Structure 1
């Protein structure tokens, strides 16, 4: 998307942004800053947020959702957030491009009384409440599975996401520790940029360089491409692949099961934005997080579930009618979100 997309979910607005019908109260105006649109996961994230927002809007809780969504760098995302500040929103949900580089603009927002929530990956700023799954735990689940498959002394290659991106670095840091502890040899690490076509090309190159590799650890957004590269090389029976909880990969997995292929997909829910919206409404209503529900500035929401061979039939039966880009999902309900507060 070349520029910022502003979505107005009302026929008309009050004209005074976040002040709504009553200053400091409902209805609330919510902003979203999304600095990366190069994956289907992000599209699903935005659409899910819009759907949940519409439910709140029907009840008069919120009035306008302002979405800034574009492929951009840190400076571009700073401008996105300033645009939302200028729209006088009450809260901003941000999927951040950096763990630390947005701190100054986060402070600008909070000084204007705007509540800040980070999703998908945590940031360090104390001006922000992180509403995230534990990305390290997300990575450990599939890394431990792969380590168990290839065994001590097994040789693997890694196809990561975008180098330097907070979620990527957190995931790989955790997975690397698992492999070191298990005695698994990581031959090389390459970047697939969370893109299926790039992941496929990267894996094709790795297979040419490392013909005797035992396994591949990859992140969601690339596993289908990795699978296709290994399949084209005729090596599905010899290389173990960590997969993803996405319909396109699961469709390939399903067809290969007859030949003994197994994999794993840990759900990384696009619905995290919906969970953050529920949290934002509670905070704007004046509710507080008790000490036992927040770790520093981070609220960890549960990883919804994991798809493995034992659970495959259950989740595939629910998902098979979706498009290949659909990510298996989950979010807190309003009631579950309310349980995090006093």
Structure 2
């Protein structure tokens, strides 16, 4: 089993890799798999192609790939498939022929928080958007979802949009710039760790009007939420969990495929009908904030992301009996 990951400057990817290692160890203990071959570094499309070529040369039986580009890996992935390697894109959906996808519906994921923001603003107001890496499949799907939602709210104006590169510090800087340019903004939409940075920027600026913003399904972000409630008991936000566990779930699916089990394609979705679409484990709002914070973050590191990993038993639903 091999994993190709082109982005490591994120707690999500750190948790993802560790969970892949832990899940693979379960199968190693049963004599089903060998050591996980890990190709993981901050790199560009050319670098990820090299990662994939390394995995192919090591003759892995299956490749899990968290892609850094929508189309740039296609030829290399097809080369792997031609050599009999099972290829599964995790976390981000690719439309590459014969590549399976395992993950949540990123577009719907983004639409949930975008609709919450629009409704919380009463369908009117000025907002800013902080996106992840342009060109990454998940970011493209998410921003498409946000645009689709906001098209239904003509009273909402997007004052500015910039990339926070899925990085907390960059997200904080981008938000600081927006606050300087648009001190009376009504709200902001962002994603992942950038939400933590954006909130830090708002707290530092202490604007006369506290903008409505989107949070993240991570314990550090939920701690920010808890701290804000002490100052403003009416504070609200939303955090839609983006589970790193989709990748170890993908590993479980790959193992079952290698064992000869047949995928029930009637259970698959996505653009190519080759996607194992997994549920979002939890969406945090004011209604369940305290319960989720107490039950899922107690004893966890601040960087821990709310998660969900399917058991081997659970993934059997995707295979014919």
- TM-score, with length taken from structure 1: 0.89
1:299 corresponding residue in structure 2: 276
1:226 corresponding residue in structure 2: 198
Given that residues 32 and 67 in structure 1 are in contact (C-alpha distance below 8 angstroms), is that contact kept between their aligned partners in structure 2?
yes
Confirm or deny that 1:193 pairs with 2:193.
no
C-alpha distance in structure 2 between counterparts of 1:291 and 1:52, whole Å: 25
C-alpha distance in structure 1 between counterparts of 2:9 and 2:205, whole Å: 27
Confirm or deny that 1:321 pairs with 2:293.
no
2:308 corresponding residue in structure 1: 330
1:73-116: per-residue Cα shift (whole Å, max 9, x none)? 11111111111111111100000111211111111111111100
Given that residues 97 and 165 in structure 1 are in contact (C-alpha distance below 8 angstroms), is that contact kept between their aligned partners in structure 2?
yes
1:125 corresponding residue in structure 2: 96
Over aligned residues, Cα RMSD in angstroms?
A: 1.2
Partner of residue 271 from structure 1, selected from 231, 236, 245:
245
Structure 2 unmatched ranges of 5 or more: none
Partner of residue 207 from structure 1, selected from 168, 179, 200:
179
- TM-score, with length taken from structure 2: 0.95
Confirm or deny that 1:64 pairs with 2:41.
no
Given that residues 237 and 261 in structure 1 are in contact (C-alpha distance below 8 angstroms), is that contact kept between their aligned partners in structure 2?
no
Given that residues 183 and 207 in structure 2 are in contact (C-alpha distance below 8 angstroms), is that contact kept between their aligned partners in structure 1?
no
1:248 corresponding residue in structure 2: 220
Q: What secondary structure does 1:52 align onto? A: helix
Confirm or deny that 1:287 pairs with 2:287.
no
Given that residues 161 and 191 in structure 1 are in contact (C-alpha distance below 8 angstroms), is that contact kept between their aligned partners in structure 2?
yes
Given that residues 179 and 186 in structure 1 are in contact (C-alpha distance below 8 angstroms), is that contact kept between their aligned partners in structure 2?
no
C-alpha distance in structure 2 between counterparts of 1:48 and 1:314, whole Å: 25
Q: How does 1:137-152 map to 2 (within 5 A)?
A: 137-152=108-123
Q: What secondary structure does 1:61 align onto? A: coil
C-alpha distance in structure 1 between counterparts of 2:43 and 2:210, whole Å: 40
Confirm or deny that 1:154 pairs with 2:125.
yes
- Call closer, same or farther: CA 1:63–1:179 in 2, change over 3 Å: same
Q: How does 1:22-33 map to 2 (within 5 A)?
A: 30-33=1-4
C-alpha distance in structure 2 between counterparts of 1:141 and 1:152, whole Å: 15
1:337 to partner: Cα distance: 0.6
Q: What secondary structure does 1:105 align onto? A: helix
1:44-67: per-residue Cα shift (whole Å, max 9, x none)? 000011011101110111122100
Q: What secondary structure does 1:64 align onto? A: coil
Structure 1 unmatched ranges of 5 or more: 1-29
C-alpha distance in structure 2 between counterparts of 1:336 and 1:269, whole Å: 16
1:229 to partner: Cα distance: 0.8
1:237 to partner: Cα distance: 5.4
Given that residues 236 and 261 in structure 1 are in contact (C-alpha distance below 8 angstroms), is that contact kept between their aligned partners in structure 2?
no
2:63 corresponding residue in structure 1: 92
> After the TM superposition, which parts of structure 1 deviate over 2 Å for at least 4 consecutive aligned residues?
235-238
Q: What secondary structure does 1:323 align onto? A: coil
C-alpha distance in structure 1 between counterparts of 2:106 and 2:172, whole Å: 24
1:236 to partner: Cα distance: 8.0
C-alpha distance in structure 2 between counterparts of 1:236 and 1:104, whole Å: 53
Given that residues 90 and 114 in structure 1 are in contact (C-alpha distance below 8 angstroms), is that contact kept between their aligned partners in structure 2?
yes
- Call closer, same or farther: CA 1:236–1:242 in 2, change over 3 Å: farther
1:279 to partner: Cα distance: 0.5
